Structures are given as structure tokens and as C-alpha cells.
Structure 1
Amino acid sequence: MTTTTLATANFDHLLVREAENGIFVVTLNRPERLNALHDALWDELDSLCAVLERDPSVRVVVLTGAGRGFCAGADLDTITALPGGTVTDFMRIQEKGANVIARVKRLPVPVIAAVNGPAAGGGLALALAADVRIGAPEARFNVAFVRLGLSGCDVGVSWLLPRVVGLGHASELMLTGRLIDAAEAYRIGLVNRVMAADDLVPAALRLGREMAANSPFALKLTKEGLQLNVDANSIEAAIALENRNQVLASRTQDAPIAMAAFVAKTTPAFTGR
């Protein structure tokens, strides 16, 4: 894949469509395997991130799964082959998946996970790497690794999950590998809301529209600030970053456009500069 824009990207295992101006829906497309992750899909997710990092036309991404699953985690064929592989083979697979999850988390645009079905193992990590999660009633979540004789700490879950649901809930889920439904996921804060399956992606698009109504640079700095300040050493460190970002944003062409539109109660036409 040599394209540099998401609108013209071609993938074998990802479906990409621009739902509306700047808001893209990316669908994991291996429904016969519940969108399980294998080498090729990890590679395509990595390529997707490379495009998103440099395509200024993308404002928000909605990530979902084809068929009845969001993502069942590592493909069973990959898992069963691990005991026979070498340490270096296993490390290569580990590093590939973990690096992709980290790259999704670092994307400069908001990512909304529309979890339409099971999200297990690496699929849970992918949902956690999003900024916001919305679940259908059919959504199910679990940390699958510990049930497979492996550590529950895998592809970033031990960092991501406690920051979303808190250490207590994360410890329970990671030490038991227990499957939870959408209602419990909502109760512990794993998903922001539960929507009927037919309204899941439309609800994510409505939320994306609210995000995309803000200037691109303001969105980028807000996401950056949230991700850095959740682990800030002190409130002083957090405030220092906030101050820097506010001053930077105030110097953009879009700042006075946003302020004028706010006062006039009109829709701003941002330049992205």
C-alpha cells in the first residue's frame, strides 16, 4: 500500500469508508474468524496508523468489526503454533501486536471504538487503545491471555485497562479472565454507553460529529494533554503542559474563527492552520 490518504487506501482485511466529511469508519473484516488478529491484519492496522498519522483530512475514526464480533483477539491458529516456535518467533509476534496497540493509542485524531460483539485479548486491547468506547448489548469483554496459560499482562492491557476502569476492576478482570457483558462493562466504565446494535455506528458517528466540530489543532492538543497528564508527576507538571498548549492553540488561524463562531452561534469553517 503506497497511498498517503485514508480515502484512497486499499486493504485486504479492513474496510474503510468516509461516513461524512473527515469522519471515517474502519471495519475489521474477517467475520468468519470474529475478526481475529493474524500477521496480515496486524500489518494492515500498522499501515492504517501510518496513513492516519499523516493525513490531515481525517478528523475522527470510528473502529468496529464486521459480522457478529468486534475482535476475538489473536487468531487461534497463531496461538496454537506458539508452543512449537522459538523464543525469538514468539517475541516477534508479541512486539508486532504491542507496537500496533501503542501506535493506535498515540494517533493524533480521536478514535471511537464501536464494539459490536466479543472483544477479547488483543481485541480488548484494541478497544482500550481508542479514546472512547460504545458497546452494543451483544458486546462481551475479557482478558483472554490468562486463560491460555499466559500472563494477563499483554499488548498493553496492563497499562490501558487500569486507566480506564481503575486498578480494582482491572485486577479482577486480569486475574480471572472472566467474560463480562455490556451491562457490566458500562457499570465499571469500560464503555461510555450501551446502544442498540442498529444504532451503534450511528451513535459513534454522532459523537464523532461533536468532536469534529472543534478545530483540528484543538482536538490534537486536547488528546495529547489527556494522554500525557493522566500520568503527570504533579499538578504543576500537568498545568505547565496545559499552559503551553493553550498558548500554542491561541496563535492558530482557527482560534479566532472558533471564538467568532461561538459568539455568533454559527458553524465555524476551520482552515486546519
Structure 2
Amino acid sequence: MAADWKPQHFAWSVEGKVATVTLNRPERKNPLTLESYAELRDTFRRLAYAKDVKTVVVTGAGDNFCSGGDVHEIIGPLIGMQDAGDMDGLLRFTRMTGDLVKAMRLCPQPVVAAVDGICAGAGAIVAMASDLRLGTARSKTAFLFVRVGLAGADMGACNILPRIIGSGRAAELLYTGRAMDGEEAERWGFFNRLCAPEALLAEAQKTAAALADGPTFAHAMTKKCIHQEWSMDVEAAIEAEAQAQAICMQTKDFARAYYAFVNKQKPVFEGN
């Protein structure tokens, strides 16, 4: 049972069918470490087999989401690898961080990010890799890799971010590393909506719970199609969706919706 999992490098809770991941180093604005990267990756991979969790919320403790990779625990060791000419070690690190995004995309559960305060670097990537993003007006989201002399091409940003906010806007953020405040992020489509800071987590969990009460097999199929169809032409996408929908038509939830409509009732979905 996912409710029994005990991660060591972030907080984890399950209420009903909703799991909440809380990055919990608030004294340093919740930076990621090598260990938390790996444990987050492994957790999202395990979710593919978790029957008791139907949606996931990702948030940060305190007044911030995530400040990115820890300067002392990640950047310092990477400079050490550079000094040692350890290209293999650098590549192992960048592949490992990218694996977190792959795991978030491949897990069947919709992921809802609740973003307040600082959301920078790898934190912005985690928000980007989520399926839905709720923010606050005071949030600051920055893909600031260029500020440390790196490319904006990190953890799938050059592929995913343009699909969310458009290529021109993505290029501006990735070239400059500047921060978007919450209102701009909502206007550009990065945030689905803004919430008051004190209501943010509750709203994200409410959104996740509503999805968890829906036809979750069908939600997983929607998520799969959204990601897979990026590399398809329209004809291939239409055929893929025909096959996906025919599979969904074999579920009991499809029949439940029909019989509920006939009987003028609200359907109660069970995800099968």
C-alpha cells in the first residue's frame, strides 16, 4: 500500500485516493539533493503499481515550492566532477535528473503541482512536468539554468515548456532565466489558476480528489495519449485515440456512466 511508504528525503501522505509529496527543507526553500532526486524518481516509478493512489499533489513546505538543486550538495560536487574531468559522472547526474521527469510523465496518476513562493531551476522543472499547476500571485517561477552558465536545455525543458506556454515565451524564459510572477504565469498558461496562499494546498488537494473520484482508468489513458501524441502526426494520433477510446469503452465505468444517466443519477466511478 502506498499509504505505508516512508520516504526519507521528503514528506509523504495519503488521504483517501490522493497522495501528497511535500518537499520539506523550508529553511533553505526546499532544494533538491542527489538523494531526494533519486527517491522522487523511484517514488513516481512505484506509483505505476500503486492501486490505492489515483492522483498526486506535489508541494513545498513553508512559503516556497522548491529553489532547485542544492548549491552545496549538488552544484559543489558537480564542479568537483568537472575539475576531475569526470564526464561520465556528469552524464550520470543529468540522466538521473531527467529520469525524474520521465517517471512523472509515465506514472498513470495525474500530478497536480501546488506552487507558492520560489519555484526555480529543478523546482520549475518539477512543476512543468506535472499535469496541472496551481499557483499564487506571489510565486516566482524561473528556469534559471543560464544564470549558472548552463543551457536552458535541462530535464526536458526545451521540449515540454514550449508546449505549455508557446515557443517564443519559452525561449525568452530559457535564454534569460528571468522569473515569472504568478499573474504572468497564469496569463501565459503555465498555471491553470491562481489561489490565495493560505488556500493553495487545499485547492490542489480538492482538484486532485475530484480527479481521483472520476474514471481513473480513463484519466490514465488521457495522460498517456497527451504525452505519446507529441511525436505523432494527426492521422496517427486519431488512430491512437480510436484504439484508446475503444479500450475505455470496455470499462465498467463507461457502463456506470450510461446507467446513471438513464436513471437520472450521478455516476459513481470505480476506475475499472
Instruction: Normalising by structure 2, report the TM-score.
Output: 0.93
Q: Give, in whole Å, the separation in 2 of the partners of 1:28 and 1:106.
A: 21
Q: What corresponds to 2:236 in structure 1?
A: 237
Please say if 1:41 is aligned against 2:36.
yes
Contact 1:112/1:208 (8 A) holds in 2: yes
Q: What corresponds to 1:54 in structure 2?
A: 49
Contact 2:137/2:194 (8 A) holds in 1: yes
Q: What corresponds to 1:256 in structure 2?
A: 255
Secondary structure of the 2:214 match is: coil
Please say if 1:82 is aligned against 2:78.
yes
Q: What corresponds to 1:266 in structure 2?
A: 265
Paired AA for residue 18 in structure 1: V
Contact 2:135/2:195 (8 A) holds in 1: yes
Q: What corresponds to 2:154 in structure 1?
A: 154
Q: Give, in whole Å, the separation in 2 of the partners of 1:28 and 1:262.
A: 42
Contact 2:45/2:107 (8 A) holds in 1: no
Higher alpha-carbon deviation: 255-264 or 5-14: 255-264
1:97-134, Cα deviation, whole Å (9 max, x unpaired): 11111111221110000012211111111001100100
1:5-62, Cα deviation, whole Å (9 max, x unpaired): 320000122212223x211221111212211111110121022113211001111111
Q: Give, in whole Å, the separation in 2 of the partners of 1:225 and 1:261.
A: 27
Q: Give, in whole Å, the separation in 1 of the partners of 2:162 and 2:146.
A: 16
Contact 2:214/2:271 (8 A) holds in 1: no
Secondary structure of the 1:95 match is: helix
> Structure 1: any 5+ residue segments left out of the alignment?
none
Aligned length: 267
What RMSD over aligned residues (CA atoms) do the two structures have, in Å?
1.5
Paired AA for residue 174 in structure 2: M
Q: Give, in whole Å, the separation in 2 of the partners of 1:254 and 1:62.
A: 24
Q: What corresponds to 2:144 in structure 1?
A: 144
Secondary structure of the 1:119 match is: strand
Report deviation, 1:271. 4.0
Instruction: Normalising by structure 1, report the TM-score.
Output: 0.93
User: Equivalences for 1:96-175 in 2 at 5 Å?
Assistant: 96-175=96-175
